[in-house]
Amino acid sequence: MADFLLLRVAENPSFHVGVAVAGLSLFVLTVFGLAFLDFPPFTKLYDTVDAYARFCWACFMKPHAKGSKNQQDALENFYKAQASVYDKTRGMLLHGREDLLGLVASQLKNKALNGRKPIWVDMGEYVEVPNFFKTVYLVDLSTSLCEVAEKRFEALGWSNVKVICQDARAFNLSNYEEAETPKAAEKRMYGDGSSTGEHEGADLITMSYALSMIPEFYPVIDSLTSLLSINGIIGVVDFYVQSEVDFQSRNYTGGVLDRHCTWLSRTFWRTWFEIDRVNLEAARRDYLEYRFGTILTVNERNHSFGVRIPYYIWVGCSKERGSTEKRLAEIDAAATESPFLSALDLQTGTAVHHHECRSKAYESAIVNLTHQLPLPASWYQNHHWRIYYDDSLEKHKQFKDEYIYAFTWEDSRVDARLLNVQADDVVLAITSAGDNILSFAAAKPRRIHAVDLNPAQNHLLELKIAAFSTLSYSDVWKLFGEGKHEDFRELLVHKLSPHMSSLAFQYWLHEGPKAFKRGLYYTGGSRHALQLAKWLFRAFGMRNEVKALCEAQTLNEQREIWNRSLRKVLLNRTLSRLIVGKEKWLWKALGVPTNQRALIVQDFANQDDAVDDNGSSTKASESGHAIWEYAVNTLDPVINTSLLSEDNSYYLLCLQGHYSRKCHPEYLTPKAHIKLSHPNAFDGLRIHTDELHEVITRMSPGTLTIAVVMDSMDWFDPAGTAAAEQVAALNHSLKMKGRVLLRSAGLAPWYIRVFEEHGFQAKRVAARLPGTCIDRVNMYASTWICTKVSEWTDKKAMQKDGMGKPMTPLEI
């Protein structure tokens, strides 16, 4: 019966008419009724719906004017219907504009303009204008958008903004600014950094989603090179699609994290945007990178519409900036500790070239200049801390963009006492998490070379250096004391970015927001050990005991808490056998490689009283026994001699995941912040991303005074030659009486003999015997200082050149 009635209703035309009339009448009455009400939420909703309706009509449904071949007519046809609602609708579609402005603004603020207000030329987009600009030129080809911009600027009272409706190719700054005088041009040409106040070009050029809409983009980009001042900044944000095949062999792109787009993404978005005359061919971005030097670059995806729309943010400069031979040689000399060769020496030939060491960064720069390519991005940074490296090499990719150590595991107080760093010292040290590098920097040596093969470890050091260079103590404490910061991304874009390399900036833009929300010290490979301990304490209901241990006020109270509960969990023999003693776990969570683990097992096997649970001998037994005893000899003495709540930040961090105001590393004290936030605090720092041996062999002979290799010598294979080669390189690069500080998991590591055979005098300055503590960490069995007492020469490697003169290792 119900189906019959529905069928009769559907067949009755008058019913449809009645429903339509009733619906229309209700709609009209509703609109008229609401028109008499003051209802702001409704008004806001109506404006939003109206704006997006206009946007959808113009972008997806409105046909283009037939026969329109002129780009200005095409743009006007596209924008006229939506010009009044352009800003409202582009917030969701055009991501990255605010980030671009934040990046270029922070770059400008970091530059010394000698009191002169900068000139900004914006190609195609209205943006908020800070008060410090002298003049802002907004250049756009769409008359509708220009009219909207003019009205808005007039309403704001911004008299320093000029809207120019013109083809970007024809825009010439000299038509609007006073011409540069010959005197000013001469100063700029010959590198005089002073400003005369006369026009020298635009200090800032930005293009927001404009480059993809310009048909003949080559002459526009060419015109921008002459429009930008020699020290100016250019920023671009736009859509793109590109395959890794296009950019994989380039070393000047500033990093390629997330740059590759899949075939489906490339095909779909290129076709989709072409409907509105937006072109996403890869050549636009490629040519931009070719004509300018890259400072920072970012590859992102817009998820607003439930899809992944690729867009990029790029910040660049004149590719001639800082690319003179003199400037390159100065920077390279600091990286290799080589004497700087002046231009006069090069011309007269008085310099001895075959003794001059060159870094890989310098060699890459020469190759690029020879082929008229921009230099790698690291050469255009505001600071030359980070030395260029090829991030595409497999030796760097093996770490899968993850650092192992989120905090350094060597006692900086002991290092300071043993080494007594002086102002004329040249220190080379493994980066790790960078904590000890900061401790050395506070001592103000002449130079510090931080070396790590893992790029992410050096990214972490860069982040810490940038933080000290620009942030207040409270922000630095949040980042590295508490390990959390609710505004990390904003700090990164607006404050930290001018002090970071492009690769490090990309990394932290991608990883940082998650890391500093979760907690910095629960990231990296070391997080596995911290998370396991946290899980065990929770599973055994010992969270209160952990808190009590971290807050204990006396050693007796600390020992009591440790022995009654926590020790039974952390030093559990079964746990050691099943998990902690396993080779994969030791490497993944604690960074202990196979050869170092072998040292621990060998020392254990050498003990006369090594027995297992049943009292049987455990010589040459499985590593679980050895690792368990090693842990006992590490942790028990720490608890007995060092108060965690006041003087052992290393284990306090492991237990609670952050430092306390009372107990933290020296570099996080207010006093250290004053030293490390000084403008010249890191001028002597160079960060190398390479093997230790590769860096040392490129050092000028006899220039290092201190080398801190941590426990890296434990990693070498006793049957190989790598250890001997590295020790020989250390002898070559160290001054006479220069020192090598090292730690080992073994009491008498095999390679000490190698040091002695290569011109060093070795002295064990600390040995961890059962029940004793050698420092607050107490993780290593011994600490050594090897002092260079004689030159070492490998007679087999020393070859003769045509003049009978010994060749340097680099020439060989």
Element (H or E) spanning 685, and its range? strand 685-688
Checking if the pLDDT of 234 tops 80, the result is yes
SS3 label, residue 261: coil
What pLDDT shows up at residue 161? 82
| Two tokens, residue 344 | 């006069």
The pLDDT of residue 570 is: 79
Q: What is the pLDDT of residue 1?
A: 46
**Rounded distance, CA 385 to CA 295, Å?**
14
pLDDT of residue 124 exceeding 90, the answer is no
Q: Which residue has the higher pLDDT, 65 or 335?
A: 335
Mean pLDDT of 287-291: 96
Residue whose C-alpha is closest to residue 438's, from 472, 404, 471, 415? 415
- What percent of the chain has a predicted confidence (pLDDT) above 70? 75
What's the average model confidence in pLDDT over 759-772? 94
The C-alpha torsion from 258 through 382 and 386 to 353, rounded to 10°, is 120
pLDDT for the residue 571 = 81
Phi, psi of 119 (to 5 degrees): -110, 130
Distance in angstroms (rounded) separating the CA atoms of residues 285 and 333: 33
Of 186-200, 398-412, 592-606, the range with the lowest mean pLDDT is 186-200
Q: What is the per-residue pLDDT across 113-122, written as a single tens digit (0 to 9) for each?
A: 556 677 777 7
Nearest of 741, 740, 748 to residue 782 by alpha carbon: 748
184-223 pLDDT tens trace = 444 443 344 444 344 478 889 999 999 998 888 999 999 9
Summarize the confidence of residues 328-350 as an average pLDDT. 69
- Whether the CB-CB separation of 328 and 362 falls below 8 Å is answered with yes
Collect contacts of 619-622 with beta carbons under 8 A, ≥24 apart. 622/577, 622/581
β-pairing, 685-688 vs 426-430, is unpaired
> What pLDDT is recorded for position 579?
57
Mean pLDDT for 274-281 is: 88
CA 250 to chain centre: 19
Highest mean pLDDT among 75-84, 159-168, 601-610, 724-733: 724-733
Q: Which two tokens stand for residue 455?
A: 């790029």
Using 50, 70 and 90 to split pLDDT, how confident is the model at 504?
very high
Q: Give dist(CA 221, CA 283) in Å, integer.
A: 12
User: CA-to-CA distance for 669 and 98, rounded, in angstroms?
Assistant: 34
pLDDT at 85 exceeding the cut of 50? no
pLDDT confidence bin for 582, thresholds 50/70/90 = low
What average pLDDT score do residues 162-191 get? 63
Considering 24-38, 66-80, 549-563, the range whose residues carry the highest mean pLDDT is: 549-563
Q: Is the per-residue pLDDT at 280 higher than 50?
A: yes
> What pLDDT, on the 0 to 100 scale, is given for residue 479?
98
Taking Cα atoms as reference points, which of 268, 304, 307 lies closest to residue 93? 304
Is pLDDT above 80 for 790?
yes
Q: What is the pLDDT of residues 699-714, one digit of tens each?
A: 999 999 999 999 999 9
Determine the pLDDT at residue 795.
56
pTM value is 0.82
| Dihedral sign computed on CA atoms, order 390, 322, 373, 180 | positive
- The pLDDT confidence band at residue 805, using thresholds 50, 70 and 90, is very low
Which pLDDT belongs to residue 620?
42
Q: Which residue has the tokens 């003495």?
A: 637
Asked if residue 322 has pLDDT above 70, the reply is yes
413 exposed, middle or buried (CB, 10 Å; 0-12, 13-18, 19+)? Answer: middle
Partners of 784 in the β-ladder:
742, 764
| CA 130/CA 346 separation, integer angstroms | 46
What integer is the mean pLDDT of 663-685?
95
Our separate counts of H helices and E strands in the chain read: 36, 14
Range ranked top by mean pLDDT from 170-174, 210-214, 455-459 = 455-459
Q: Which two tokens stand for residue 741?
A: 């500080």
Give 737: exposed, middle or buried? Use CB within 10 Å, 0-12, 13-18, 19+: exposed
Mean of the pLDDT values across residues 510-529? Answer: 93
Q: What is the pLDDT of residue 32?
A: 47
Domains contained in the chain, CATH given: 2-85 (no CATH), 94-318 (3.40.50.150), 325-371 (no CATH), 394-484+661-788 (3.40.50.150), 527-652 (no CATH)
Contact 595, 715 (CB under 8 A): yes
**In the predicted structure, residue 111 carries a pLDDT above the cut 90:** no
Strand 135-140 to 447-451 pairing = unpaired
pLDDT at 696 over 50: yes
Of the ranges 199-208, 226-235, 327-336, 505-514, the best mean pLDDT one: 505-514
* Residue 707, helix vs strand vs coil: strand
Give the pLDDT confidence of 375-387 residue by residue, as tens digits: 999 999 999 999 9
What is the reported pLDDT for 118? 76
Least confident interval from 158-167, 490-499, 638-647:
158-167
Smallest CA-to-CA distance from 193 within 111, 90, 78 is with: 111
- Please give the C-alpha separations between residue 598 and each of 371, 475, 626, in angstroms, as whole numbers: 50, 43, 10
State the pLDDT confidence band at 451, using cuts at 50, 70 and 90: very high
Going by pLDDT thresholds of 50, 70 and 90, the confidence category of residue 65 is low
Q: Of the ranges 155-164, 316-325, 343-352, 779-788, which one carries the lowest mean pLDDT score?
A: 343-352
Residue 640 makes CB contacts below 8 A (sequence gap 6+) with 555, 559, 773
**485-502 pLDDT, tens digit each:** 999 999 999 999 999 999
pLDDT, greater one: 35 or 570: 570
Judge whether residue 630 has pLDDT over 90: no
Nearest 5°: CA angle at 133, between 127 and 138? 40
Distance CA 505, CA 524 (A): 17
* End-to-end Cα distance, the chain: 100
- Where is pLDDT greater, at 796 or 417? 417
Which residues, including other chains, have CB under 8 Å from residue 592's CB and lie 6 or more apart?
586, 745
**Top-confidence range, 96-110, 438-452, 520-534, 791-805:** 438-452
